[in-house]
Amino acid sequence: MIGRPSVPDQPLDRTQIVALLEEVAAELGDVGSRHVVIIVGGSLLAWHDLRESTVDVDSIRRIDDELARAVEVVASRHTLAPRWMNDRAAMFMPQTFEESSCEVLLERARLMVLGLPLRDAFLMKLFAARGRDHDDLVSLWPRCGFATARDAVAEMYLAYPAAPDDPHLESFVEQIIDEATS
């Protein structure tokens, strides 16, 4: 936004995320169509106490203009970045994702917040495989339900069929498993 000073990202813990989403729901009011947000990434891990905090709430469901305005109002109230809740992760949704497998995290008149299944969260983090995803992968492993590293890698390639072949991916997941189980 032109003329608006840049606001640094602030760490948000589970309690803050819940409170902010409650405020967004209140800002939307009780009349009109329902907005659905499917949280992923660090906010999902913070919600499940698998991570202390995150700097934003990512959704794989697109955020329309009305919801974006409510998010901005809440942001201005708390001196947060205007896009503290965003849909930048939408382009990374696993192709095998099924919304019916999501957990309802918060349900209000016009806002439903769903949590991506932890299995899919693991696949998203594995696909991204950024340095900062390592600890999240370790935290997720015991709760994502894969039997073996090979199973996780096979599902990752089903979820992301355009992913380049990585001959070291299975050994990377085996390292994650070792760290998660030791």
pLDDT tens series, the chain, 182 aa: 444 445 557 899 999 999 999 999 999 999 999 999 999 999 999 999 999 999 999 999 999 999 999 999 999 999 999 999 999 999 999 999 999 999 999 999 999 999 999 999 999 999 998 888 999 999 999 999 999 999 999 999 999 999 999 999 999 999 999 999 99
For residue 1, the model assigns a pLDDT of 40
Q: Which helix (H) or strand (E) holds 37?
A: strand 35-40
Instruction: Give the integer Cα–Cα distance in Å for 171 and 176.
Output: 9
Read off the tokens for 119: 């299995």
For residue 3, the model assigns a pLDDT of 41
Residue 3 within a domain: no
Instruction: Give the integer Cα–Cα distance in Å for 142 and 124.
Output: 16
Please indicate, yes or no, whether residues 159 and 77 belong to a single structural domain of this protein. no
Residue 166 within a domain: yes
Residue 50 within a domain: yes
Residue 175 within a domain: yes
* Runs of H (alpha helix) within 103-181: 118-128, 134-144, 149-159, 169-181
Point out the domain boundary residue: 116, 144, 159: 116
Q: Which residue range(s) make up the domain with 150?
A: 121-181
Strand duo 85-86 + 57-59: pairing = parallel
For residue 7, the model assigns a pLDDT of 56
Instruction: Give the integer Cα–Cα distance in Å for 28 and 35.
Output: 9
Instruction: Give the integer Cα–Cα distance in Å for 22 and 19.
Output: 5
Q: Model's pTM, two decimal places?
A: 0.92
Count of domains observed in the chain: 2
Residue 9 within a domain: no
